[in-house]
Structure formats: C-alpha cells, structure tokens
Amino acid sequence: MIEVRNLAFGYPQGGFALSVTALAVAPGESVAVVGPSGCGKTTLLHLLAGILAPASGSVVVDGVDVAELGREDRQDFRALAVGLVFQEFELLDYLDVLDNVLLPYRVSPALTLDGEARQRAALLVEQVGLGEKRCSYPRRLSQGERQRVAVCRSLVTRPKVLFGDEPTANLDADNRDHVMDTLFRYRVEQRAPLVVVTHDRELHGRFDTVADVRELTA
C-alpha cells in the first residue's frame, strides 16, 4: 500500500511548492489523480515513485519510507518496486520491442536478467498483441503499439505499485481501453496499487478513487 503523511516538496530554484497532509492507497486500489495543468499532479506522482525526494514528510510504499532513502537506494527501489508508464511512451529507438521491454534489466544493477525475465517479457508482448512485432523497432509501430510496449516494460519487473502519467493522452479510444485494461488486470492479479494521472473524464468511472490534487493540498 501507499501512505503519505505531511509531505512537503519545493523545487530548489523556487516557484512551485507542494504539500500533501495525507494520502493512502490500499493494495489493489486504483486512484485517478486529477486537477488542472500545473497543479502538481506529475510532481506528486514523482514523489510517490521515488523519482523526487521530498523536503519533509514520509512516503511509505510497500512498507518502505521512500523519503528516507538516498539517491542510489531510490534508484534500486524504482527498479524493483515501481512500474511507470509515461504519456510519450519514452521507448528507445535503437532497441526492438523485446529489448525495450527488458530495458529495466539492462540499466539497473538491482535487477538480474535471467531466462524467467525473458519469458515474462515475451509473454507480456504476446498478451498485448505484439508477438509478431517483438523484433520491430519503435519507429515502425503505431502510437497505440508503442504505449503497449511501454506498459509491458512497466510490468516486466513485477512491480509492487503502478504509476501512470497521462498514459492514454495520445491514444485513440481502442488503444486507450487496451492499455487501461492491461494496467487494471495487473492491479487485480497482483493486488498492486494503481495511481494514474489523467485528464480523461471518461476514465474516472473505472477508478476506485478520484483524487483532486487541489483537495489533497488544501
């Protein structure tokens, strides 16, 4: 589960600051984070995922206080416990589909690429309907296909929590549903908390909770 208490964050150069008194996401719970542009949705997600370190307060994810971790440990924490899906997919052009899915294993010293991981990657690619294109490069894929690859990359390490930053913003309705179905299925199967930043009101109904950042920071 995710538990936030008295979280405070400000960028070193000043300007934007965020403070959240309390936020809790239970295992298997899905939360849609909403709010106007610039209100701190992505910043909050980065704090929960351990990408950013808070100035004060605690962010406990699966029993680990991320705020207490150093830079190296937060890196390992992200590699081992966090699955991240981005709006712009962020695939590497020079790796094919399967190698993009296996990227966390290539770049994180905390993960070991073994046969099981390879099998899992191949299975995930198959499940999202890209089995035939596992050797294709991102430039040859459609937007929806690229995001499906990105989702596979976020799931291949079997993360404890899942975060999505506008993962369906660039997709058509079919691909949007396909991506969200995959993320929700994983949430159910692994009882993993799912926190997604989204502007898409049509998706709100699928989430257990819709949290407005303005209310969280009030």
Partner 1 sequence: MKHVIFMAWRYLGFYWGKTVVLVASISLILFLPAGLHVLVEQGADVLTARAEATPLLIGAKGSAVDLVLSALYFRPPHGEPMPHREVGRVDGSSLAHGIPLHLRFAVGRQRILGTTLDYAEFRGLTVDRGRWFAMLGECVLGSEAARALGVDVGDHVLSAAGSAFDVAGSFPLKMPVVGVLAPTGTADDEIVLVDLKTAWVISGLAHGHEDVSAAEEGDARVLRREGVAPQARTNTSNVAPEARPTTNVVASASVLSYTEITPDNLDSFHFHGDPADFPIDAVLAVPESFKASVLLRGRYETGEAPVQMIVPAEVVEELVDTMFSVRDWVLLGSLAVGVATAMTAALVFALSIRVRRREIETIQKIGGGRQRLAAILGAEILFVIVAAIAIAGMLTAVVSRFGEVAVRLVGG
Instruction: Give the interface with partner 1 as residue ranges (CB under 8 A).
Output: 49, 51, 71-72, 75-80, 82, 84, 86, 88, 90, 92-95, 99, 103-111, 113, 137, 153-154
What contacts 70, CB < 8 A, 6 or more positions away? none
Query: Among residues 26 and 92, whose Cβ is nearest to partner 1?
Result: 92
Query: Residue 195 Cβ, how far from partner 1 at the closest point, in Å?
Result: 15
Decide whether 72 or 172 has the Cβ nearer to partner 1: 72
Q: How far is the CB of 119 from partner 1 (least distance, A)?
A: 18
Interacting residues of 57 by C-beta distance below 8 A, sequence separation 6+: 4, 5, 6, 7, 8, 19, 20, 67
CB atoms closer than 10 angstroms to residue 86? 18
Minimal distance, residue 19 CB to partner 1, in Å: 23
Min CB(70)–partner 1 separation in Å: 12
Residue closer to partner 1, measured from CB, 3 or 76? 76
User: DSSP per residue over 115-154, as a string?
Assistant: HHHHHHHHHHHHHTT-GGGTT--GGGS-HHHHHHHHHHHH
Indicate the residue among 9 and 86 with the shorter CB distance to partner 1.
Answer: 86
